[in-house]
Amino acid sequence: MLSNRLLSAAVFMGFIALSGCSDKAAVEETKPEPTAKEAVTTEPVITASTDAAETEKLAEEVEVVVEENPPRFASITDLLALMPNADWSWDTLVSTPDIQKWDPKTPTKNEYLPEDPSYSIWGGLDEHGGMAIYGTKAKPVLITIGSGQGVMEDETGSAVYKTEDLFRANELTRVKSNCDTEEDSSFSQQFYKWQKPGHQPLYVYAITDQANAGTSSDIGIAKSFDEFFNPDYSNALINLRALDAEYNDVICTFDL
């Protein structure tokens, strides 16, 4: 299991008519032309007669809210969120900024497993991991973000991605499942609903695998939990377990 995960992480290494009476027109004809300085002045002038409410409105329009501590990869995951009734598209996802390089840049089948029906693209995030997208030739269906770090570099695996590196805590809701494992176990698997305000809900699994050689993580995003267990993506999601606490094969259920 770990070798597969570290191999996966290694692969990850290898996104805005005037009108009036005639005498008024006559007066306007004698009005002097504005100077060059007056002609280019575009800033609103606030005079003593400016209403207090109007002044406040102007201030609100120019206010810029800066998020103090956004998730490490928020610039990427914010663009993965879907508006209601929307779907991902290959063209949109491949233009996601902050991806080091897409390889391949167009959805391609796995040449080593001709029987695998899925199409995919992959892009790096940093030296520890990257993002893979899987789906049909027509559209993406699920997204995985994986990473790995060996104990020789850092035995704590501090560079391995965590859910808080990708999602804001107030947008993530834990979903209980019979396929959960304990968060502090060497192999940890949990499930979540991810919903940004004004967007449709998406669903997430988060896996962390700790072993003697190092630590790896795998985080998946899809429009439903069913997509994670679709046989068409079984080769892509080899780290996802459909096991209960006694390691029996089960059909995973979710308390939505």
Instruction: Write the CA distances from 161 to 61, 122, 127, 129, integer angstroms.
Output: 36, 17, 12, 8
Strand (E) or helix (H) holding 135: strand 129-135
Give first-to-last CA distance, the chain, whole Å: 29
> How many alpha carbons lie under 13 Å from residue 98 in its C-beta half-sphere?
14
Confidence grade of residue 65 (pLDDT, cut at 50, 70, 90): low
Q: 105-127, pLDDT tens digit by residue?
A: 899 999 899 899 999 999 999 99
pLDDT given at position 60: 53
CA gap 242, 125 in Å, rounded? 28
**Residue from 58, 61, 40 nearest 50 by CA:** 58
* 84: pLDDT strictly greater than 50: yes
Instruction: Write the CA distances from 120 to 12, 102, 104, 126, 246, integer angstroms.
Output: 13, 11, 8, 19, 33
Q: 190-244, pLDDT tens digit by residue?
A: 999 999 999 999 999 999 999 889 999 999 999 999 999 999 999 999 999 999 8
CB 247 within 8 A of CB 172: no
Q: 144-182, pLDDT tens digit by residue?
A: 999 999 988 988 889 999 999 999 999 999 999 999 998
Strand (E) or helix (H) holding 53: helix 52-62
pLDDT given at position 204: 98
The share of the chain scoring above pLDDT 70, in percent, equals 74
CA gap 252, 256 in Å, rounded? 13
pLDDT greater at residue 87 or residue 13: 87
